[in-house]
């Protein structure tokens, strides 16, 4: 991540110069779609391999949620499978200074409804203290359950930050089945997939785009007016200013690197 919101100055793209007749356009599109279908099939093969990975036991772990401290197995809410994202937390910082990348991703999570049909629970884990993370969840209006791992101790299959993890439950025994971080978590970000299909893409400086395409620093557009963009859709500045505790002099203030 690069801190700040300043765009990289570029000229507007010459869209008219790209224009061709429809027949030529359809031929070019057909070639692109063939490559994309191959990419989809390769993704299917990766998913098949993912389903054949070994698993590793989680062991004893405790987290804190809305109902107090609970064993990690209760995060499943009785379902067989669990998908959990480990939200990066800037301890003691106000809402405006919480991770814009994690906020970007969690703001796009699907509703629980269809996951329940496949016996899957979706939850968010966070190393922040429960009063802070609970306040942030409430501020953002997020429905998925959150749990603090601040008191969990050294359980590397549960604690940590920026991880997308999948678990399976066998009675009261829990196993970790998959783990990804950084760009491996982009499955949580359908906005990125939609942007990838537009003419200008994500408009970030790392992308291979034609000269003159507008681009900004990676992730810089996740923040505006000094706070994660998703917050601007939620509350007024008066609400935001009192949402969390004031900055801690020794607290961390950084965003999770995703690119």
pLDDT digits (tens, 9 = 90+) for 118-143: 999 999 999 999 999 999 999 999 99
Q: Once rounded to an integer, what is the mean pLDDT over residues 69-94?
A: 97
The model's confidence at residue 248, banded by pLDDT at 50, 70 and 90, is very low
More confident residue, 253 or 23: 23
> Tokens 């706070």 appear where?
227
- The predicted structure's pLDDT at residue 257: 52
Name the 3-class secondary structure at 65: strand
Q: Is the pLDDT score of 246 beyond 80?
A: no
Q: Is the pLDDT score of 202 beyond 50?
A: yes
Q: What is the pTM of this model?
A: 0.87
pLDDT digits (tens, 9 = 90+) for 137-195: 999 999 999 999 999 999 999 999 999 999 999 999 999 999 999 999 999 999 999 99
Q: Is the pLDDT score of 1 beyond 60?
A: no
What CATH number does domain 56-188+220-241 carry, 3.40.30.10, 3.40.50.720, 2.30.130.60, 3.40.50.1820?
3.40.30.10
Q: How far apart are CA 99 and CA 126, in angstroms?
A: 12
Domain chopping of the chain, boundaries: 56-188+220-241
């Amino acid at each position: 991540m690069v801190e700040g919101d300043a765009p990289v100055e570029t000229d507007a793209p010459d869209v008219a110069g790209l224009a061709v007749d429809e027949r030529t356009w359809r031929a070019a599109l057909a070639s692109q779609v063939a490559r994309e279908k191959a990419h989809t099939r390769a993704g299917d093969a990766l998913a098949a391999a993912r389903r054949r990975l070994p698993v590793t036991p989680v062991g004893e772990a405790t987290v804190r949620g809305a109902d107090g401290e609970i064993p990690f197995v209760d995060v499943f809410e009785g379902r067989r499978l669990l998908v959990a994202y480990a939200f990066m937390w800037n301890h003691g910082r106000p809402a405006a200074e919480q991770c814009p990348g994690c906020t970007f991703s969690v703001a796009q999570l699907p509703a629980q409804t269809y996951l329940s049909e496949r016996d899957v629970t979706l939850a968010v884990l966070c190393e922040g203290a429960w009063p802070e993370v609970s306040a942030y969840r409430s501020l953002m209006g997020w429905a998925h359950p959150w749990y603090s791992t601040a008191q969990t101790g050294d359980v590397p299959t549960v604690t940590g930050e920026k991880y997308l993890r999948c678990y399976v439950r066998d009675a009261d025994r829990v196993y970790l089945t998959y783990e990804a971080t950084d760009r491996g978590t982009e499955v949580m970000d359908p906005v990125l997939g939609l942007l990838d299909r537009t003419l200008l893409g994500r408009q970030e400086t790392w992308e291979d785009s034609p000269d003159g395409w507008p681009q900004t620093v990676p992730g810089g557009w996740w923040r505006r007016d000094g706070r994660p963009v998703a917050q601007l859709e939620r509350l007024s500045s008066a609400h935001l200013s009192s949402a969390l505790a004031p900055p801690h002099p020794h607290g961390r203030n950084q965003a999770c690197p995703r690119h």
